[in-house]
Structures are given as structure tokens and as C-alpha cells.
Chains A and B, each alone.
Chain A
Amino acid sequence: MRRGRRAGKEQHGERERCREPCEDASAVHPGQFSSIARPARAAGGERRRQVLFPTVEFAIFFPIVLALSWALMPSQPLWKPFIVVASYVFYAAADPRFCLLLAAITLVSQLAVVGIHRTEDERLRKWITAGGVVFDLGILAVFKYYGFFVTDVSDVLDSVGLGMPLPLATIALPVGVSFFSFQAVTYVVDVKRRQAEPASLLDAAIYLSFFPHLVAGPIVRASEFLPQLKTPRDPHRVAVGAGLTLIALGLVKKVMIADYLARELVDPVFAVPQAYSAPDAVLAAYGYAAQIYCDFSGYTDIAIGLALLMGFVFPQNFNSPYRATGFRDFWRRWHMTLSRFLRDYLYIPLGGNRKGKVRTYINLMLTMTLGGLWHGAAWNFVAWGAYQGTGLSAEHALKGRLGRIFPGWLRWFVTFNLIVFGWILFRSQDLSLVGDYVSALTRSGPATLYSVPVVGAILLVIGLQLLPERPTEGIELRLGRLQPLVLGAALALVVLVVGATVPSQGVPPFIYFRF
């Protein structure tokens, strides 16, 4: 009876909503398990509200701030406090208590910078720098890694008789702490290295809290941002076209592609990989590669676009990462501001490749493993970082031989698939689920999640990155030169279309908000 009823509904169009696993419901075989997820994974509502660009609140906030910002720009004594207050208001939308944390990091970093600047004693400069960096990273450690240490790491230490009794506590993770704490580190270290001048407290507060990059980067160096605060932004030289184009592009990437792929493909498979077999698991892995790129680069596009409209320029963060032909090439194209941070503030201070081959491999592994851990307090991120470090080390060991032996397309193919495999480590909730996912990759079974829009979205995201750079740049440049009012109307159209694809529960938070 039940199966007959289900079949009848499918004939009346229910299959579309239920997707393929629903068909399994009408023919569940012994030992066969299936899972359907219909979640719009918003973190809003009664869970802590996140600061989001694609929200009504932000759509009201930004035009007001933009207009006031340019109105006050000629008078810097008014503009600077205004932009700090606006940024703190933006951040308070996540949790007002964390504004105190942001203020504390700003104050301590500024104290350290002033101390470094006032002394010529190199030892003292080192000590003050170390103090500032330890404070900034200490905040990160307490809020982000305390729980990890008292549970997971403590378990490991217990097993070898080195248990340390630490009180259990649930600590809320402040949004964006990974980003602004790293920026604080660049401020202190750049001044110590004499690559940046000490700023006023107000400028430092703007640098660390400026709302377009506050919660998920890009990680802007002090030496890049502080000079832009020295003089008022030129109101006659604003990249309005580029800014609006980037905002529209970011919205489409985030809401129409990343969230769609998450909802229809990625979240269900990664939540219960035991329920799926190879065709779905393979597709979901590629789907996640497309999703995370669109999610994070979408955020970055919006952040860079907002900043441009306000007269500021942020560094580039992505450069067609999936066209990389090696791990090193990938890290020059993916989250570029993080990889250069790791290179300049960790890998090079560790000695880089100046202390022999063995130390080079150790430094690469250490840098990438810590980089992995930066993404989240879990072993799967550690494993992902180590995996990337292994790839870089292997490449380093083979030096240029790969390029001479293998053609470019083969190097691309291998690199791309190795990167996608790495995303399985990254996305899985824990290492046991990585094992379940790998099992799913080897399990034969039906393809249940394939559809034209899903496969088309993945092919579009990956395929566009493989096109020659000049044509795509040409399109961006042409759009960026259109009249602002035309682009303003086009942006409204994009928002309306994008908004129609948002589920009633709202836009899920950006993936990198968790980091």
C-alpha cells in the first residue's frame, strides 16, 4: 500500500522535490540505507545570528554608511571615528560582547607597536613583538582551540600518560577572530620589521575592524592598508563599476551556486556518507570543490567590491585556483592572502628552504599543518594541512622533473583531483567520517543525486577557471567600465533573481565564517 501511494505521488510531480533517494523509499532493499536531507542550513534564527552581507539588514546598513562615509571623508577627524563606529555596529550584529575582544586586540597591538617603535634596542623590540604576537594568538588559542585541547588533545595525552586536568567549558567562537587576530600579528610584525609605520590608535582600530574584511578577510597586511588611511580617499577616482560587478558576481557565486550545491548535493552526502555509493560520493566531492570556491571567493568578491565603493583596495585572494598544475601553484591561487601570511610570517621565519632539504620539508609540513589547524579545531583540518604539506614537499623533492616528464594537462588533471580529494578531509566532520567517505568512493551503487543543474553548476565553476585568462578578464573589464547607474540597476536585478533562490530560512553563513 505504502509503496503504491509513493509511486502515485511521484507521478504527480513529487519526485522533483524529493530527488532520487525518494525513489529508494519505494524500493528499500534489505541492508540498504538511504538518507534524504531537505535542510536549508541557515545558522540564523535562534542560533547566534551571523553577520551576513546578503541580508536585508546589511542592504539597509551599507547605503547609509556609504553615503555618510563619502560625506565625511574630506574631514578625517569625523570620518575616522565614524567608520570605526560603523564597523563595530556591524560586528555587534554577531554578538556585542565580542566587540570588547576586538577592542582589546586593537589596544594591545597598538601598545606593542608604540613600544617597538620607541626603542632601538633590538632585543627589546623582539620581546615586545613576541608579547604582542603571543597576546593576539593567545586570544585565538583560547577562543578557538581551548575546547579542542581539553577534549581531543587531552584524550591523546591521556593515552600516553600525560593527561592534563583542564576544566571543561563551552566557549563561543567570535566570528572572524582568525582573521583579525592574524591582521593584528601582521601589524606588530610589519612595524618590527620596519615594513610599516606605526599608526595612530584610530587608524589601527580602522585597520583591524574595517567591516568589509572584518569577518572573513581577505587578510590585508598593515603595510597595504595603513597607507590608504594617510590621506582621504580620492572622491574622483572610485572603481564604481568594478565594485558593483564584484558584488553582483559574489552574490551569484554564494547564493545561486554554492548554497544550491550544498543543499542539493554536498550536505546530504557529507552528513551521512554511509548512505551513498561511489557515483554520488564522487560527484559530491567535485561539488564541494565548486561550492567552497564559490562560497569563499564569493565572499571575497563582495568584500573587495564594498571596499572599492568606499575607495579602498584589498589584495586579490583568488586567481582561478583549479587551473593550478601543482600544489605550489594552487597555493599561489587559492586564499592567496592566507598563503602569503603563512609564507611571510611562519615559513620564512622558520628558515624556509635555507637550512637544508630536511629542514625545508619540516618547515613545509609545519607551516601547512598549522595552516590546516587555523581553519578549525579538529583533527581533519590537521590532516588536510599535513596532506597539503606532503604535496608541497613531494613537489619540492621532484623539483622541475614533473614539468619535464609530464605534459601540462596531465599535471593539471592529477593536481586537480588531488586537491579535490583533499577537500574530503577538509569537509568531513571528523576523521571517522573521512573513512566512511572513502568507503563510499569504493562502493558500487546507483547515482541518485545527478541532475542537469547540479552537474552543470559544477562544470561551469570548474570550466570557467580553465578558460584563458584574457577573455574572462576582458569581460570583467568591460563590465567594470559601464555607467554606474546601469550597473546599479543591473545589481538590483541580480539581487532580485538571487533573492528568489533563497529558502525561507535565509542565506546560510559563509563557510569561512566558522574559521
Chain B
Amino acid sequence: MTDTTTRRSRDDSDEFETIAEMEAESRPGPEGQPHGDDSLIGRFDRWHLNRFSAWDAVKAVALTTFLLLIFAGGSVRKAADELKPGLGRDIVKAIGGPAGWVSDNLPFSDTRRDLTSWLSPDQQLSGQSFRAGPGGAGTPAAQVPTTPQPLHRLLVTGDSLSTPLDIELARKLADQGAAVQVTRDPHLATGISNSGLVDWSQLSSTQAANDDPDAAVLFIGANEGYPMPDASGAQVSCCSPQWEAIFRSRVGQMMDNYLRGGVERIYWLTVPTQRDPARKPIADAVNQAVEEAAADRGAAVRVVDLRPTFTPGDTYRDSIDINGKQTIVRESDGIHLNEDGSSVAADLVLAAMNKDFDY
């Protein structure tokens, strides 16, 4: 315990005369000295807290783990589903499966949920989930105004690709003095082909209803390629024409949800080529599906194609020429745009929006 009366105090006026004195300051001082012994390595000994055994530690942690498994085993199972394939996921899955089963068959999990659900920061989603299988050609082209309309509210959303694009758009509009409310709503680690974390059909309906945007900017596609069910329920793997048709249908459902919810224009950004060649078939299928779904919906959906700017010739590059200077525009993962890249993408979006909106 601290006892300031027993320590030799240094006030602000003290100066070290010698290096030895300075170094002495860093060595352990009298017991209870809070700063002289700035490591306080012996504090647990001094406070007599080393009073239990290793077996106590193991038992206590085992009890914690056991209680968590029976109260929240389903969370372990869900976490496994969200992990990338690999040994780590297999291990979590091997534990999460039985833990989830136990948790499902005991009343504790429901009790926990009832007691703590009010603490969740997640928004409640409404609307329909994705329909299974490929849909039709989409809704007829919506009537859109031919003259620029006022822009009051802008939604910027998507997966991790959409940030920091969202921040760049918000800053650029703010710098222009535009009276626009920008709602930034990135949902990291989510995908249209994987509804494990969030169902983008429900989310798009909810965003349209709650945020009431005049325009929506979507940048999503870093986390796609998951198998999706066809109309019969059979899983279709990426990136066959059938997978692309299902993906197109899902993208179309999202577009329709926004448009039916009152969004006048959608600006959907394509995924620029990524460094890893294995990702190219996925990005190609995603971009193709977006372009086709947008074409079905006429001028209400504009595709902002980033590929000619960031990866001309379909060739990945870290940097591009910006104002005569080679500038790195990608993150080190070779997938995401960095701040400079997002700034360029934001300029492209604003250029497209300028044709449709006054702000």
C-alpha cells in the first residue's frame, strides 16, 4: 500500500546530477513507493495476493469456461461459422457444435438472452430475407427525375470496402458546405452471398425505411464467393453462371428494397481487381452481376466503375497517378482502397451524383 510519508519525494524542481542518480530513480525504491519502483514487479507479493495455487487458477478458469459454454454455447457455434476456413475454425467448430447443442437444450441460454438483449447495440432488422435461387429480370425501370433534385440525405454503406470511402464522401461534402446529412453505415466482414452476420436484403429494407436517404452509395464485394442455395435449396458454388445468376438476383432484391423505400438513385461501385489472382473470378462475377442488375433498373441505378481508374487493363497495382504523382491507393492487403484511393473513389461518386442532385 502506498505510504507517501516513507518515500523520498522528488518535486518538479529536482534535477539529476549524475547518470547514476537517474538510473537509481528507475530502480526499486522503498516498499510501497509508487513511482520510484516504476516496475512494481513485487506488488503482488507485497500485497500478499499470491495466496492460491495453480490448481485454483485452472479450476477457476475451467468454471468460467463451463459457465460460458452452457449459457452461450450457441455463440461459439456462430463464431465458428463466421471464421475463415482453416484449422482455427475447425477447432472452434469442434467445440462450438456440442456446446451449441448443450446450450440449445438447456434453458440458460434463453434466460441470458432475455436478461441481456437490451444491451445489444445492433439495430433490429426488418423486411424479407433473400429469396432463394435466381429471380427474374427485376422490376421495371423506375421513373427517375430528369432534372437534378435536392440532396438532403445520403447513405453510404457496404462491407469494409465502404470505409474510409464513407468518411471521404462525408468530408468532401462538408468541405463543400453541402447541406447533406451523410449516414455512414459500413458492415464489416459481411457479404451478399453470406447472410451469417447480416442479411443484406433485410438490412437494405431497414436502411431505406429508417434512414430515408435520397441517394445510396454501395461499395461491397470483398467478402463474397460463398455458396448460395438455388430454388431447390441445393448449394451452388462460386463462380458458375448459376452462382452469378443467384448473386444477380440478390443484388437486384437489394436495389429494389432501396428504390421501393424511397431512394431516388443508387450508386453502386464495382470491385477493382485485387492482388490475389484467386480472388479475380469472384470479383468478376460480382461486378458482372451488379452491372446486369443495374441495367435492369435503368437510370435509377448508376454503376460507378472503379476498374478503369484503379486497375486499368484489369491489372492490379498498388499505386496510380494522381495529379502527376504516383500515389499508393491500396491497403497492404491488396483488397481495400486506402485513404488516398478512397478519396479518388469519392470524387468519382460525387461526379456521378453531380448529374442527378443539387447540393
The answer to whether A480 touches B49 (Cβ under 8 A) is: yes
Alpha-carbon distance between A399 and B326 when the two chains are bound, in angstroms: 50
Alpha-carbon distance between A30 and B358 when the two chains are bound, in angstroms: 12
Given the contacts A33-B177, A147-B328, A492-B63, A44 and B41 also touching, CB distance less than 8 Å: no
Given the contacts A168-B328, A348-B19, A488 and B64 also touching, CB distance less than 8 Å: yes
Alpha-carbon distance between A46 and B166 when the two chains are bound, in angstroms: 18
The answer to whether A492 touches B339 (Cβ under 8 A) is: no
Interface residues of A in 122-149 (CB under 8 A from B): 147
The answer to whether A274 touches B52 (Cβ under 8 A) is: no
- Nearest to A2 among chain B residues (CB) is B212
B251 contacts chain A at the CB level, 8 A cutoff: no
B323 contacts chain A at the CB level, 8 A cutoff: no
Chain A residues contacting B40 (CB-CB under 8 Å) are: 315-316
The answer to whether A275 touches B170 (Cβ under 8 A) is: yes
Interface string of A137-173 (1 = CB under 8 A from B): 0000000000100010000000000000000111111
Chain A residues contacting B210 (CB-CB under 8 Å) are: 9, 14, 17-18
- Nearest to A332 among chain B residues (CB) is B35
Min CB distance B47 to A, Å, is: 6
Alpha-carbon distance between A55 and B83 when the two chains are bound, in angstroms: 11
The interface stretch among B54-62, B242-250, B283-291, B292-300 is B54-62
Interface centre among A9, A41, A169, A491 (most CB of B within 10 A): A491
B132 contacts chain A at the CB level, 8 A cutoff: no
Contact of B183 among A9, A28, A36 (CB under 8 A): A36
The answer to whether B64 touches A39 (Cβ under 8 A) is: no
Given the contacts A170-B332, A240-B60, A400-B13, A499 and B181 also touching, CB distance less than 8 Å: no
Chain A residues contacting B184 (CB-CB under 8 Å) are: 35-39, 271
The answer to whether A57 touches B92 (Cβ under 8 A) is: yes
What are 23 residue pairs bridging A and B, where the CB atoms are less than 8 Å apart in the complex?
Answer: A25-B152, A33-B173, A35-B174, A38-B183, A45-B190, A56-B76, A56-B80, A63-B58, A73-B54, A170-B332, A235-B54, A244-B61, A271-B184, A313-B41, A316-B43, A340-B26, A340-B38, A352-B19, A403-B13, A489-B64, A495-B68, A496-B116, A506-B189
Chain B residues contacting A497 (CB-CB under 8 Å) are: 116, 119
The interface stretch among B120-128, B139-147, B229-237, B302-310 is B120-128
Chain A residues contacting B311 (CB-CB under 8 Å) are: none
The interface stretch among A204-212, A368-376, A381-389, A469-477 is A469-477
Interface string of B198-238 (1 = CB under 8 A from A): 10000000000111100000000011000000000000000
Residues of chain A whose beta carbon lies under 8 Å from any beta carbon of chain B: 2, 5-6, 9, 14, 17-18, 21, 24-25, 28-49, 55-57, 59-60, 62-63, 66-67, 70, 73, 93, 147, 151, 168-173, 221, 224, 233-244, 260, 263, 271-272, 274-275, 308-309, 311, 313-316, 319, 326, 328, 332, 336-337, 340, 343-344, 348, 352-354, 395-396, 398-400, 402-403, 429, 469-470, 473, 477, 480-481, 484-485, 487-489, 491-493, 495-497, 499-506
- Nearest to B121 among chain A residues (CB) is A503
Chain B residues contacting A47 (CB-CB under 8 Å) are: 160, 188-189, 333, 336
Alpha-carbon distance between A25 and B213 when the two chains are bound, in angstroms: 10
Chain B residues contacting A398 (CB-CB under 8 Å) are: 12
The answer to whether B332 touches A171 (Cβ under 8 A) is: yes
Chain B residues contacting A492 (CB-CB under 8 Å) are: 63-64, 67-68, 71
Given the contacts A46-B160, A59-B65, A168 and B185 also touching, CB distance less than 8 Å: no
Chain A residues contacting B26 (CB-CB under 8 Å) are: 340, 343-344
The answer to whether B332 touches A172 (Cβ under 8 A) is: yes
Chain B residues contacting A311 (CB-CB under 8 Å) are: 54
Residues of B within 8 A of A (CB-CB), count: 112
Alpha-carbon distance between A491 and B211 when the two chains are bound, in angstroms: 39
- Nearest to A248 among chain B residues (CB) is B64
Min CB distance B81 to A, Å, is: 11
Residues of chain B whose beta carbon lies under 8 Å from any beta carbon of chain A: 1-2, 11-13, 15-19, 22-23, 26, 34-35, 38-44, 47, 49-65, 67-68, 71-72, 75-76, 79-80, 83-84, 88, 91-92, 95-96, 112, 116-117, 119-123, 152-153, 159-160, 163, 166-167, 170-171, 173-175, 177-190, 197-198, 209-212, 222-223, 262, 318-319, 326-328, 330-336, 338-339
Min CB distance A185 to B, Å, is: 16
Min CB distance B92 to A, Å, is: 6
Min CB distance B165 to A, Å, is: 12
Alpha-carbon distance between A24 and B56 when the two chains are bound, in angstroms: 56
A-B contact count (CB 8 A): 330
Min CB distance B77 to A, Å, is: 10
The answer to whether A491 touches B190 (Cβ under 8 A) is: no
Min CB distance B308 to A, Å, is: 21
The answer to whether A24 touches B61 (Cβ under 8 A) is: no
Alpha-carbon distance between A54 and B34 when the two chains are bound, in angstroms: 30
The answer to whether B170 touches A35 (Cβ under 8 A) is: yes
Min CB distance A135 to B, Å, is: 22
Interface centre among A56, A274, A313, A469 (most CB of B within 10 A): A56
Chain B residues contacting A35 (CB-CB under 8 Å) are: 170, 174, 181-184
Chain B residues contacting A505 (CB-CB under 8 Å) are: 187-190, 197
- Nearest to B79 among chain A residues (CB) is A56
Alpha-carbon distance between A235 and B333 when the two chains are bound, in angstroms: 44
Min CB distance A128 to B, Å, is: 22
Alpha-carbon distance between A263 and B120 when the two chains are bound, in angstroms: 13
The answer to whether B39 touches A60 (Cβ under 8 A) is: no
Alpha-carbon distance between A126 and B166 when the two chains are bound, in angstroms: 51
Given the contacts A238-B53, A429-B339, A63 and B189 also touching, CB distance less than 8 Å: no
The answer to whether B64 touches A491 (Cβ under 8 A) is: yes
Given the contacts A32-B179, A33-B179, A43 and B120 also touching, CB distance less than 8 Å: no
- Nearest to A151 among chain B residues (CB) is B328
Alpha-carbon distance between A213 and B173 when the two chains are bound, in angstroms: 42
The answer to whether A484 touches B52 (Cβ under 8 A) is: yes
Min CB distance A434 to B, Å, is: 14
Alpha-carbon distance between A484 and B42 when the two chains are bound, in angstroms: 21
Alpha-carbon distance between A470 and B65 when the two chains are bound, in angstroms: 33
Alpha-carbon distance between A38 and B336 when the two chains are bound, in angstroms: 20
Alpha-carbon distance between A272 and B172 when the two chains are bound, in angstroms: 10
Chain A residues contacting B163 (CB-CB under 8 Å) are: 39
Min CB distance B43 to A, Å, is: 7
- Nearest to A474 among chain B residues (CB) is B1
